[in-house]
Chain A
Amino acid sequence: MKREVPYILMLIMIVLRFAFEWIGPLDAWVLADGMKVRSLISWAMTWMGFGAFGLGIVNFTRVHYGNIRHRREHWMFSAYTIVLAWAYGIYGVIKGNNDPLFSTIFRVVSEPLDATMFSLLAFFIASAAYRAFRVKNLESTVMMVVAFLVMVANVPFGEMIWSSQSWLGGFSGIRTWILATPTAAVSRAISIGAFLGGVANTWRVVLGIERRHLAH
């Protein structure tokens, strides 16, 4: 039963979701109070997401509490994490996200931390590009040339060297063509392939072939 119940629940949700999205009369089914049945199902799924969030909070607390209790390496950081996460969360629930202190903490702590990590990308891409863009073979040469053209077009220097008003639209025109034609084509191709993989995988799950997520 431990294996069958999740599978059956999954099938029921898939059928319900599909049926209420696709079959017209079900899509239009309205209850006496004016609420659509489809909306009820959507709300139920939203509440399930909320339940999953609750599960995450419990698991997060359990993991870090375990670190503290067994005095594992860096257990102090787990203590900070639990205290700060719960305090901030409870405060936000009570006071709302418009509370000055709540939004100040977000603005002063979370935003700069996120921005700092994101800005590391600028340095890392410099060292990665410097290391990777070498004329080792044809593919890497082509990659380097294309990256070079797009980068030059993205900066004002490119416009100064070869204006967009001149032949071929300058670097800007070349960049536009690179983005519009080969990049868009490859992006679509990879997306189609990835999507097909996703659909095939979905069917494997629905047909019961894929069972690892049920801990088989």
Chain B
Amino acid sequence: MSEILFLAAEAPQYKFGFVVDQPNAVSACLFYLCMGILVWVGVSRARAGLPLPEIKRIPGLEAFDEAVGRATEMGRPVHMTNYDEGIGYEDTFAYWSYMAYVAKLCAQYDTRLIVTDSSYLCNAVHQDIVRQAYLEAGRPDAFNPDDIRYISGTQFAWAMNINGIIAREKPAAQFLIGYFYAEALLIAEAGALIESIQVAATIATTQIPFFIATCDYVMIGEEMYAGAAWLSRDPIITGSVVSQDIFRIVIFVAVILGALLETFAPGHNFIKTFCNF
């Protein structure tokens, strides 16, 4: 054992004897643990059937049915996409809730759904999600795997392809859900020019103005996650969204208190001291 492990000549200073001596190490860990407890409590309450606060209705969510209905009437497809997707990304998980909902609607209305992906790993998951939705709607024959397309991981190659799909297929409804970069405006404006109904939901602060300028409905930041919970009607997801809200209130109080303390009693700002610990 001594051949494998040897100690440094000088023992470094650890917090509580074992935590690395870096700013925010302890406070960040506590934050994560508290969030984990809150999520667990929220989900447990949901599983037990205990009452949970309702998620308020977000205007963009009601547009989903309207948009798919419009596409059905016009006989044009529905297009759904997310650029910065990945198996481990939180907004991708939210996107899957939206996708399951839209896929079910499209299956019920017999409307073609095109899903474009920038991640081959997510493409496999999306195929499953959409296939499952068609199966549940009793229309497994209507599922077309060629419509769940992996495009490219490169930003503008992806955007070019999507614009081509928009120009050729002319989707009547577009759902842009997730994280986007510069390509957001390219695809959103292309959709706006063919007068499709567009619903966007994103946490990308830099792209929100472009979506607001080009899309009919936009869900910003937290609304994307809340929308995913609302659409999935899954009390478990609702439970975790409620826990996020609770922690947001905690952060809100901490920010206000911290700002007041820093302004009027800078030497006694325990909030700042704790956050830096």
- A–B interface present (Cβ within 8 A): yes
A residues whose Cβ falls under 8 Å from a Cβ of B: 21-25, 27-32, 52, 55-56, 59-60, 63, 72, 113-114, 117-118, 120-121, 124-125, 127-129, 131-133, 143, 147, 186-187, 189-194, 196-207, 209-210, 212-213, 215
- Chain A residues positioned under 8 Å from B244 (CB to CB): 193, 196-197, 199-200
CB closest residue in chain A, given B31: A199
Segment with Cβ contacts to A, from B75-83, B86-94, B101-109, B135-143: B86-94
Is B55 positioned at the interface, with any CB of A under 8 Å from its CB?
A: no
B164, chain A: closest CB distance, angstroms = 10
The B interface, classified by DSSP as helix, strand, loop or mixed, is helix
CB closest residue in chain A, given B125: A213
Say yes or no: A125-B185 contact (C-beta < 8 A), given A194-B203, A201-B94.
Answer: yes
Contact of A59 with B150 in the complex, beta carbons under 8 Å: yes
Say yes or no: A30-B8 contact (C-beta < 8 A), given A24-B21, A125-B185, A212-B129.
Answer: yes
Contact of B189 with A28 in the complex, beta carbons under 8 Å: no
- Chain A residues positioned under 8 Å from B153 (CB to CB): 56
Query: Could you tell me the distance between the alpha carbons of A203 and B90 in the complex, rounded to whole angstroms?
Result: 10
A96, chain B: closest CB distance, angstroms = 21
- Chain A residues positioned under 8 Å from B88 (CB to CB): 205
Query: Could you tell me the distance between the alpha carbons of A28 and B5 in the complex, rounded to whole angstroms?
Result: 10
Contact of B212 with A22 in the complex, beta carbons under 8 Å: no
Contact of B94 with A59 in the complex, beta carbons under 8 Å: no
B residues whose Cβ falls under 8 Å from a Cβ of A: 3-6, 8, 12, 14-15, 18-21, 25, 29, 32, 35-36, 39-40, 43, 87-88, 90-91, 93-94, 96, 120-121, 123-125, 128-129, 146, 150, 153, 155-156, 159-160, 182-183, 185-186, 188-190, 192-193, 203, 205, 208-210, 212-214, 220-222, 224-225, 236-237, 240-241, 243-244, 247-248, 251
Contact of B225 with A63 in the complex, beta carbons under 8 Å: no
- Chain A residues positioned under 8 Å from B5 (CB to CB): 29, 31
Query: Could you tell me the distance between the alpha carbons of A55 and B236 in the complex, rounded to whole angstroms?
Result: 33
Contact of B120 with A128 in the complex, beta carbons under 8 Å: no
Partner of B221, one of A132, A190, A201, A209: A190
- Chain A residues positioned under 8 Å from B237 (CB to CB): 204
CB closest residue in chain A, given B8: A28
Say yes or no: A128-B222 contact (C-beta < 8 A), given A192-B248, A196-B35, A212-B96.
Answer: no
Contact of B185 with A121 in the complex, beta carbons under 8 Å: yes
Contact of A113 with B221 in the complex, beta carbons under 8 Å: no
Contact of B221 with A215 in the complex, beta carbons under 8 Å: no
Contact of A201 with B90 in the complex, beta carbons under 8 Å: yes
- Chain B residues positioned under 8 Å from A202 (CB to CB): 90
Q: Which 4 A-B pairs have the closest CB atoms?
A: A201-B90, A117-B156, A194-B203, A132-B213
Contact of B125 with A212 in the complex, beta carbons under 8 Å: yes
- Chain A residues positioned under 8 Å from B36 (CB to CB): 203, 206-207
CB closest residue in chain B, given A193: B222
Say yes or no: A24-B214 contact (C-beta < 8 A), given A118-B182, A199-B35.
Answer: no
Say yes or no: A213-B19 contact (C-beta < 8 A), given A59-B150, A197-B94, A200-B243.
Answer: no
Query: Could you tell me the distance between the alpha carbons of A206 and B156 in the complex, rounded to whole angstroms?
Result: 34
Say yes or no: A200-B220 contact (C-beta < 8 A), given A31-B4, A209-B240.
Answer: no
